[in-house]
A and B are shown apart, each in its own frame.
Chain A
């Protein structure tokens, strides 16, 4: 239900504050009168609440005062008003969104009627809080497991995982683990199991597929999937709420623990300590641990050595860049999932043009499908060429390592040969590090490839250069300036 007083308040506010501020901060607020004297404004998060309080609350209160005979108190809360009470499920926000999305197809005529007079509303804040803070809430441990399991994306299964040379070993080892767990065998050499590889190559897909299949094979076992970030957040909350013991017990009691992107534990010492103990407890109890990481774990900086060594106890496998044939197979599989008839020659064309990672490949496919949908045309190679012309132009324009070396050498007035040379004087070493760092960020070449291009240096040298430059950019203005100038020169 639209609230008249809030509508009027909108109109008045619009005159008092800048249009920009009005759009950003006022429009997202949803108002609800909970009694004659109490108006609640729901905001998406605490940050918005703080801004609104600081900048506009006195205006709002003032306007509401003038508009009403009663004295109305205005309160801000994190949350939102649901559109109706029939198509809303509170626990599963994803389910809720799907229903909402299908229910409201942008026809303004239906939206008004969808507001129920008694319009139920829930405070989203409770939802958020309970997911982070569930050890405090009264829900059962069982529910808690379910929550983690629902984070597993059902669409990421082994059926949709395209096998290629690049991931054959990782896939085979995964299936082996599934079998071992199902057999209940304690003789497991693959524990912990760690999948590593660059971004967008399918690590997350594989770990979700593992979670899904283990869960369906062993419905009673406690399978937990989470992103490393969530682990960190939960631990912080548990520390704040003094529920760290429950937190520890919970993680040490699972049967299978799947953690995505462990490189984000880097630099977080307290979390690492907790992970270390959780690890020990689980390994001792012969519970399976499965992880992904974006680099070879020994090379993640900011991870404790004892943790790195534990990570390497079981099996560590890599996922590499897919070759053209695998990219074609991936495209065909993705298209089939979207119910799109993608001719093989088109898949081949896209696969040849987009070579960096699977995400980019998917982005390109999306563009082709959206264009076909928009123009109502059949997908052919010619069509794909046109639909992707700007993406392809970008790819073609993508800078090469040679180009980076040339520009950097010119910028620092040194010779390209200096960048290749073994010399380590500052005047050459710093530009070389900057060039390596730019090469890492602007090209899709791997660390060893970049090392090769700089006079056959080791990939760890490149890694070190990237980290050094990142560090220096925040410490030394001149490095930041040089880097930004060069980046601009190379990308504009």
Chain B
């Protein structure tokens, strides 16, 4: 028998400050929202919310009609350092994953010059990486020292309690309520990484709609 396909297949949730649980990252958020902080460098392990926060800030600017851009840097044929050209005219530029360009001379150079230009223009620059400026494998000392210039924060992992709160919040935003019990079960049996948990949540939402079942532990068990 064919399952009923729910309409909003993807209904991707946009990153915002509303669907984020700050945990120990409150001060970071406070500083991100303070537009006088022109240079912030965020670093931390995967799954600690760096991407989410950068995207949230960028879309908040965009929603206010300001010029903002969020870009995850990656090295491939489609991405070249030219990507940064002219962006210094923007009010806000969020560059994610800057560790991926470390050691690439052209990129490091481009980021260095971009850094100087956006500073000259009084634009805001928010950078994220998986390691601190001190420990990134950046070859250009001029760039490296500039990274340590900014307000630096290490993103902190959420506690289990906050992870449960986040799952419940995300579920609520998707239009269903998740019990502590279910959230706890997911955390213990499904995934520890937040991004994996959120993806799972989306899948479960879809499946439970498709199969018209409630999101209970037996249902999750059958799905896992």
Spell out A's residues near B (CB within 8 Å). Answer: 14-15, 19, 22-24, 27-28, 30, 44-48, 51, 78, 80-81, 83, 93-94, 97-98, 100-101, 104-106, 108, 111, 114-115, 124-125, 127-128, 151, 153, 198-200, 227, 229, 261, 294, 356-357, 359-360, 362-363, 366-367, 370-371, 373-374, 390-391, 394-395, 398, 441-442, 470, 473-474, 484, 487, 491
A97 in complex: contacting residue of B72, B91, B103, CB < 8 Å: B91
B-chain residues with CB within 8 Å of residue A391 when the two chains form the complex: 152
Residues in B47-96 with C-beta less than 8 Å from chain A: 55, 58-60, 62-72, 78, 80, 82-87, 89-91
Contact check: which of B10, B15, B80, B148 meets A360 at CB < 8 Å?
Answer: B148
In angstroms, Cα B131 to Cα A14, docked, is 33
- Of residues A124, A360, A442, which shows the largest number of chain B Cβ atoms within 10 Å of its Cβ? A360
Chain B 117-168 interface residues, beta-carbon cutoff 8 Å to A: 120-123, 131-132, 134-135, 137-139, 141-142, 144-146, 148-152, 154
B224 interface contact, C-beta 8 A: no
Cβ A359 vs Cβ B122 within 8 A: no
Q: In whole Å, how far is A272's beta carbon from the nearest beta carbon of chain B?
A: 17
The answer to whether A27 touches B59 (Cβ under 8 A) is yes
- For B41, give the chain A residue with the smallest CB separation: A363
Residues of B within 8 A of A366 (CB): 37, 150-151
Are B154's CB and A390's CB within 8 A?
yes
The stretch that binds A, out of B25-33, B169-177, B190-198, B211-219, is B25-33
Say yes or no: B87 contacts A44, CB within 8 Å.
yes
Docked Cα-Cα span, A108 to B66, in Å, equals: 11
A374 contacts across to B, CB distance below 8 A: 26-27, 30-31
A27: chain B residues within 8 A (beta carbon): 58-59, 62
- Report how many residues on chain B are interfacial, defined by Cβ distance under 8 Å: 64
Query: How far, in angstroms, from A227 to B14 measured CA to CA in the complex?
Result: 40
- Name which residue of chain B comes closest to A105, CB basis: B35
Flag whether B179 is at the interface (Cβ < 8 A): no
A-B contact pairs, 18 of them (CB 8 A): A23-B15, A23-B59, A28-B62, A28-B68, A45-B85, A46-B82, A93-B121, A98-B122, A104-B66, A125-B86, A151-B120, A198-B141, A200-B148, A229-B113, A370-B27, A373-B34, A394-B134, A487-B137
Identify A491's interface contact among B31, B64, B135, CB under 8 A.
B135
* A19-B10 contact, Cβ under 8 Å, with A128-B89, A199-B144, A366-B151: yes
Knowing A104-B64, A370-B151 are in contact, say whether A94-B27 is a contact too (CB < 8 A): no
What's the Cα separation between A363 and B71 when bound, in Å? Answer: 24
Cross-chain contact B122 with A94 (CB below 8 angstroms): yes
Residues in B lying within 8 Å of A, measured CB to CB: 10, 12, 14-15, 26-27, 30-31, 33-35, 37, 55, 58-60, 62-72, 78, 80, 82-87, 89-91, 103, 105, 113, 116, 120-123, 131-132, 134-135, 137-139, 141-142, 144-146, 148-152, 154
CB pair B55–A23 under 8 Å, yes or no, is: yes
Bound complex: CA A487 to CA B134 (Å):
12
Q: Do B148 and A363 touch across chains, with their CB atoms under 8 A apart?
A: yes
User: A294 — which chain B residues lie within 8 A by C-beta?
Assistant: 141-142
- A124 adjacent to B89 (CB under 8 Å): yes
Interchain CA distance A228-B113 in the complex, whole Å: 10
| A14 surroundings in chain B (CB, below 8 A) | 12
Q: Which of A48, A94, A115, A370 contacts B31 (CB 8 A)?
A: A370
A141 to B215, CA, bound (A): 72
Nearest residue, chain A, Cβ from B143:
A199
Beyond contacts A51-B78, A97-B123, A108-B63: 16 other A-B pairs, Cβ-Cβ < 8 A, are A44-B67, A44-B69, A44-B87, A44-B89, A47-B85, A83-B66, A94-B120, A94-B121, A94-B122, A199-B145, A229-B113, A294-B141, A357-B148, A363-B149, A363-B150, A391-B152
Q: What residues of chain B lie closer than 8 Å to A15, measured between beta carbons?
A: 10
Closest-CB distance, B142 to chain A (whole angstroms): 5
Contact among B15, B87, B142 for A261, CB-based, below 8 A:
B142
Residues of B within 8 A of A395 (CB): 134
* In the bound complex, CA of A487 to CA of B138 (Å): 11
Whole-angstrom distance between the Cβ of A263 and the nearest chain B Cβ: 9
Docked CA distance A360–B132 (Å): 12
Task: Tell me whether B145 and A127 are in contact (CB under 8 A).
Answer: no
Residues of A within 8 A of B150 (CB): 363, 366
